Structure 1
Amino acid sequence: MALLFIWQPTTLWAAPSLASLQREIDQLRTVAAEKFEAANEATLKIKKLENETRNLRNKGSVAREKLDEVNKVLATIAVNSYKNLGLGQGLELLFSANPTQYLSDASSLKIVEARYARQSREFAVLKQRVAASVTLLEDRTAKLTAEKVILNREVAAAKLALATANKKLKALSKRDRERLLRAESLREKKILDNSKKYASSFKGDNSRGSIALRYALKQIGDIYVWGAAGPTRWDCSGLTMRAYQAAGVSLPHFSGAQIRYGKPVSYERLKPGDLLFYGIPNSHVSMYMGGGKMVQAPRPGKRVEVISVTRMFGSKPFVGARRI
């Protein structure tokens, strides 16, 4: 009886410890997924600003070239004026293939000179505006780059915490560790089996939403990987992006951007293919399947699955649905 008395508290203590550790790992994986989506947002914004900056630089280069061309024409006018040559009106002088030859046929120096002096001032102003815009965009890009560095640090911290939790798992006795892993494996197998059953039952039609949903359902069992968008690895917005790409719609790779596409749909009027968004700020997206189910790539350590739709995804509230 003494041995039994000593052994029982150990057993009672071990079970809560395993459950607590499992909750810690799950929570850390969820936090990591949120940070991953935030990093996706920063990447999109930086790419957009870099493209805008590049376009403005190109415009600035064209403006400078045009300004140089106008200045050369003005210099030619000044030389010809000094030589007292007869000049024509030359209203299209700036666009002439041979400005000097055009000037030799011109008849009104004052009109030409006034016109291109004004052109020169306008292009000078344009160049200043472009330079100011480029400076502004470069400043914003630098700020976003700094934000991305911070986000990457947070992601790294989440990964480190997750690794620490997994290290604790490995530090458990072999028996406890195997028991926890076995329970998790059985739980995931049940989810996967049910997901495949739900997927096989979906018929749908030829609508955009059904086409996207069929694509997403084909990915059931694929592993979650941050930043992945197929063909066998996905994060939440990568899955929905590719699903709608298969239906002929281009979406960005970020749930916070996808929520701005399509039209809003109430929770009570959901149809297959509608996108469901969770979190404030938005950090998760899934796809409604019908029958109160949704398909998603949930978080690190999980696979693409079909689960019941709820108004809360973990600690994240439902914030809206969109019909693409």
Structure 2
Amino acid sequence: MAAHRKLRARSLSGNTARTAATLALAGAATATAFDGTGHAEPRLTTAQVKTEVDRLYREAEAATEKYNGAHEKASAAQHRLNSLRDETARRQVRLDTARSALGSFAAAQYRDGTIAPSWQLALSSSPDRYLDGAAFAERAGDRQAKQVSRVRAQLREIERLRGAARVEARSVASRQAELKRQKDTVTAKLKQARQLLERLTPPERAKAADGAPTAPARATRSATGGRSAPTPVAPARVSSGRTSAPIGRATPAPDSRASAAVAYAYRKLGSPYVWGATGPNAFDCSGLIQAAYRSAGISLPRTTYAQINAGRRVSRSQLRPGDLVFFYSGISHVGMYVGNGRMIHAPNPSAPVRVAPIDQMPFAGATRVA
């Protein structure tokens, strides 16, 4: 009879239930993994990584130029604020001096007391001398009134300066907030690019970070015929250390200052790209251009979108060494034309300052500074 007893079903509870649930989830996860439907991050090819890294670098460079512009404006606003504060302090010193003089005059009057002019005339042993003194006192009173008026004007001017300083202080705070936003954007983009590159082997990483954009980014049209511009052949070069200069036939620079800027750019070949840097040992793209022309005695704006308007626009067919060449629709990258269809530029954090063909990026325009 015992053999025919039905086994009573036992309910799962407590630790037993939790253990069963854990095993079930583990089994489901294992089955999902074996079925190939897991959520593991897919393995990107070197070409895919390069395309994504190029995009991140372009976005970081655009944010870098906005950062550079915001930094320039923040510095100018801080300079104006400091000037206002200095001027307020100088005027406060003059006001304190004028107030002190007024206080001394008032104290002297109090000590001398006041006597009616008619009694002073009657009691005076020398009426003529008294009348001369009275006229002097009247003139002194006029000067005193003018001094009081000047003090009031100084008070109004100091209050105006303080109001302007408060407005400028708010501007500085706004500029600094914009700086932080752009810095955070640049940092995030560069971090994403670095993380992508770290997923590759060293040879793959070197290929993905060679500084030349991927094929879609290089697509461009010639200025005259609408056909793709051919990659020019590099001229023979003579090199000494990091300095390298072209030899052979080349279009001359328009003047000595452009020539000096080109020579500076050649001396900086191999320098690292650092966003926000303007030399002398590291550069971003617009920082290299600014430093090169600064060495030639020409002051240029800090950003690409300001540099493109810093000289006379020239067409691609008119390019001469020293001309500034700009790329992408947002004017986010700049190089210095050195002849034979090539430029010197600071590409990105994965590539140092180098010579490159100008047709490897979408051409946006050119400017002749000198």
Q: Distance in 1 between matches of 2:293 and 2:302?
A: 11
Q: Tell me the residue number matched to 2:62.
A: 34
C-alpha separation in 1, matches of 2:65 and 2:212: 26
Farther off after superposition, 130-139 or 294-303: 294-303
Q: What CA distance in whole angstroms lies between the structure 2 residues aligned with 1:195 and 1:154?
A: 39
Name the aligned partner's letter for residue 42 of structure 1.
A
**Contact 1:288/1:294, CA 8 A, preserved across alignment:** yes
> Identity rate of aligned residues, in percent?
29
Unaligned runs of 5+ in 1: 1-13, 86-104, 171-176
The structure-2 alpha-carbon separation of the partners of 1:276 and 1:84, relative to structure 1 and needing over 3 Å to count, comes to: farther
Matched, 1:115 2:146: yes
Preserved CA contact (<8 Å) 1:29 1:299: yes
* Whole-Å separation in 1 of the counterparts to 2:211 and 2:141: 90
Runs of at least 5 residues in structure 2 that lack an aligned partner in the other structure:
1-41, 115-135, 214-230, 238-243
Distance in 1 separating the partners of 2:103 and 2:141:
14
Match in the other structure for 1:233: 282
- Verify the 8 A CA contact 1:71 1:120 in the aligned structure 2: yes
Q: In the alignment, does 2:361 pair up with 1:313?
A: yes
> How far does residue 323 in structure 1 lie from its aligned partner after superposition?
1.6
On the 8 A contact 1:275/1:323 being kept in 2, the answer is yes
Query: What pairs with 1:174-253 in structure 2 (closer than 5 Å)?
Result: 178=203, 181=206, 194=234, 197=237, 199-201=245-247, 204=252, 207-253=256-302
188, 203, 210: which one aligns with 1:157: 188
CA distance in 1, matches of 2:62, 2:43: 29
Q: 1:254 aligns with which of 293, 303, 310?
A: 303
Q: CA deviation at 1:203?
A: 7.6
SS at match of 2:76: helix
- Summarize the Cα distance change of 1:107–1:214 in structure 2 as closer, same or farther, 3 Å threshold: same
Aligned partner of 1:49 in structure 2 is 77
**Between Structure 1 and Structure 2, which shows a larger proportion of helix residues?**
1
1:283 Cα shift?
2.5
Q: Is the alpha carbon distance of 1:194 and 1:222 closer, same or farther for their aligned partners in structure 2, counting shifts above 3 Å?
A: farther
CA distance in 1, matches of 2:357, 2:212: 15
Kindly report the root-mean-square deviation, in angstroms, between the aligned alpha carbons of the 2 structures: 3.4
Specify the SS of the correspondent of 2:289. Answer: helix
Which position in structure 2 is the counterpart of 1:129? 160
Give the whole-Å Cα distance in 2 for the aligned partners of 1:36 and 1:66. Answer: 45
1:267-306 equivalent positions in 2, closer than 5 A: 267-279=316-328, 281-306=330-355
Query: Against the structure 1 CA distance between its residues 117 and 240, is the aligned structure 2 distance closer, same or farther, given a 3 Å change threshold?
Result: same
* Compared CA separation, residues 319 and 68, structure 1 to 2 (3 A): farther
| Residue of structure 2 in register with 1:75 after alignment | 103
Structure with larger Rg: 2
Query: How far 1:298 sits from its partner (Å)?
Result: 1.8
Question: 1: distance between equivalents of 2:91 and 2:276?
Answer: 39
Task: Give the distance between the partners of 1:251 and 1:43, measured in 2 at CA.
Answer: 15
Q: Is the 8 A contact 2:234 2:340 kept in 1?
A: no
Tell me the residue number matched to 1:5: none
Aligned length: 280
Q: What are the Cα deviations for residues 105-150 of structure 1, in whole angstroms up to 9, with x where unaligned? A: 9872222112112211211111011101110111011011111111
Q: Which residue identity does 1:67 align to in structure 2?
A: L
Q: CA deviation at 1:232?
A: 3.9
Greater shift in the superposed pair: 148-157 or 205-214: 205-214
Q: 1:295 to 1:106 in 2, by over 3 A?
A: farther
Contact 2:335/2:344 (CA < 8 Å) preserved in 1? yes
Aligned AA for 1:223? P
The offset of 1:218, in angstroms, is: 2.5
Q: Which residue of 2 aligns with 1:22?
A: 50
Partner of 1:276: helix, strand, or coil? Answer: strand
What is the alpha-carbon distance in structure 2 between the residues aligned to residue 274 and residue 68 of structure 1?
56
User: In structure 2, what is the Cα distance between the partners aligned to 1:260 and 1:125?
Assistant: 41
Output the CA distance in 2 between the equivalents of 1:236 and 1:59: 38
Q: What is the rounded CA distance, in whole Å, between the counterparts of 2:95 and 2:205 in structure 1?
A: 73
- Conserved? CA contact 2:211–2:347, under 8 Å: no
AA of the residue aligned to 1:270: L
> How many Å separate the matches in 1 of 2:262 and 2:304?
17
TM-score normalised per structure 2: 0.65
Quote the Cα distance in structure 2 between the aligned partners of 1:28 and 1:183. 13
Length-normalised TM-score, structure 1: 0.74
Q: Tell me: CA distance 1:182–1:256, structure 2 relative to 1, closer, same or farther (3 Å).
A: closer
- What whole-Å deviation, never above 9, does each CA across 1:51-108 have from its counterpart, x for those lacking one? 11111100000111111112222223333444379xxxxxxxxxxxxxxxxxxx9872
Counterpart CA distance in 1 for 2:164 and 2:210 is 55
